[in-house]
Amino acid sequence: MDDNWLDGRSDDSDNAHVEESGSETENIDSETTENEEEIDLEKLNLEESDPDENYTQGCSYSSRSDMVLSSTPSYSSTTKHHANVNLTSGLTELTAHVASVEDAFLCFISEEMLKKILLYSNTAEISNRTLDDSFEEISMVELKGFIGLLLISGLLGKSRKSIKSLWTRNSLESPVFRAIISRNRFETIVFYLRFDDKTTREERKNTDKFAAIRKIWLDFQNNLNKCYSVGPFVTIDEQWVGFRGKCPFRQFIPKKSDKYGIKLWLCVDANSYYVFDAVPYTGRQSGQDKQKNIGVNIVLQLMKPLFGSVFY
């Protein structure tokens, strides 16, 4: 038989004669390499497994190279270190006793994070006080209300509307925005809101495009890890967030419905869809060499908090 169908070449190969009990002899053209193991089926030793070995009931087979194969899998006598651990995903001690929406919110955006944001924002106002001498420092209540309005606007599908339209007295619009804060105060908070120390930002931006929010984002990532225990199956994929604002790592993809946006890499529990970790893709820094193995590095980075846990 011409074996061109194997590799497109014409080589002489040995005919291997295989004879099995109760079947006719067949001639099979085969090509072997020095690294392949050959098992002589004619001389297989069929015997009951030794009860002292790890094999359970079944037969064992030995080859010319003394390789022993078993018809049944072997089971280790040692007990894995997590055998007595509850192998279920779900809430952790931090979130198991959450009693209100505010408590749940503070599990992800903690009081410590909010205090940092207040410090950076009010400090930015002091440095620009000549622009607005009547400015009052942002309070914790105002900051929580501000973030709450951002969440509500997204929930109601109003995140793309102008700020002015959200505070309209139109009966078709939600009155919650006017009830919580005035439009002028909302716009003032937007103007002064900061997530880092602006005096050192330029130096940090030389090595990190995400410098303006990096510290707060790391705190948020840590809270994501602590609030939920993922199961044995997680999915890692990208999430496109439409965004047209000023950003050094904003991307343009014509095929997307939102052509301008930011790419996030997410690690998500496959069953509950909980976002366990998130990493923004910022691209190359100025003067940096072309990145290699981006996918592998992202996967390792997102999986790092899980290594050494019960499932991983």
- Please check whether residue 230 is in contact with residue 276, taking contact to mean a CB–CB distance below 8 angstroms: yes
**Gap between the Cα atoms of 250 and 253, Å rounded:** 10
β 234-242/228-229 pair status:
unpaired
User: Which distant-in-sequence residues (6+ apart) come within 8 Å of 290 by Cβ?
Assistant: 284
Instruction: Name which of 310, 302, 249 is nearest 276 in CA terms.
Output: 302
- Residue 58: pLDDT band (50, 70, 90) is low
Q: Label residue 44 by pLDDT band (50, 70, 90).
A: very low
- On the question of pLDDT at 209 being above 50, the answer is yes
Q: How far apart are CA 45 and CA 59, in angstroms?
A: 9
Give the whole-angstrom CA distance, residue 232 versus residue 272.
12
Decide: 298 and 280 in contact? Cβ < 8 Å: no
Most confident of 2-11, 64-73, 158-167: 158-167
Number of other residues whose CB lies within 10 A of the CB of residue 307: 8
pLDDT score of 82: 46
The predicted structure's pLDDT at residue 57: 52
Note the pLDDT tens digit of each residue in 267-309: 999 999 999 999 999 988 777 777 778 889 999 999 998 988 7
SS (H, E, C) 269-288: ECCCCCEEEEEECCCCCCCC
- Parallel/antiparallel/unpaired status of strands 251-252 and 47-48: unpaired
Q: Hey, what amino acid is at 21? A: S
Please tell me the distance from the alpha carbon of residue 282 to that of residue 218, in angstroms, as a whole number: 15
- pLDDT exceeds cutoff 60 at 169: yes
The Cα–Cα gap between 212 and 68 comes to: 61
Spatial contact of 54 and 76, defined as CB atoms under 8 Å apart: yes
Predicted local confidence at residue 288, as pLDDT: 73
Q: 222-259: per-residue pLDDT in tens?
A: 999 999 999 999 999 999 999 998 899 999 999 999 99
Tokens representing residue 182 in the block: 């005035």
For 115, residues 6+ apart whose C-beta sits below 8 A from its C-beta are: 140
The pLDDT value recorded for residue 46 is: 44
> What's phi and psi for 186, nearest 5 deg?
-60, -45
Arithmetic mean of pLDDT over the chain:
79
Position 132 scores a pLDDT of 63
More confident residue, 281 or 57: 281
Per this entry, what is the length of the chain? 312
What does the pLDDT read at residue 20?
Answer: 43
Per-residue confidence (pLDDT) for residue 39, from 0 to 100: 44
Distance CA 34, CA 91 (A): 54
Mapping DSSP to helix (H, G, I), strand (E, B) and coil, where does residue 165 land?
Answer: helix
For the segment 131-157, the average pLDDT, to the nearest whole number, is 89
Residue 173 backbone dihedrals phi, psi, to 5 degrees: -90, 155
Q: 3-class DSSP state for residue 229? A: strand
CB atoms within 10 A of CB 297: 12
Please check whether residue 114 is in contact with residue 146, taking contact to mean a CB–CB distance below 8 angstroms. Answer: no
For the question of whether the overall pTM of this predicted structure is more than 0.75, the answer is no
CA angle 283, 289, 200 (to 5 degrees): 60
pLDDT tens profile 115-136: 999 999 998 877 766 656 677 8
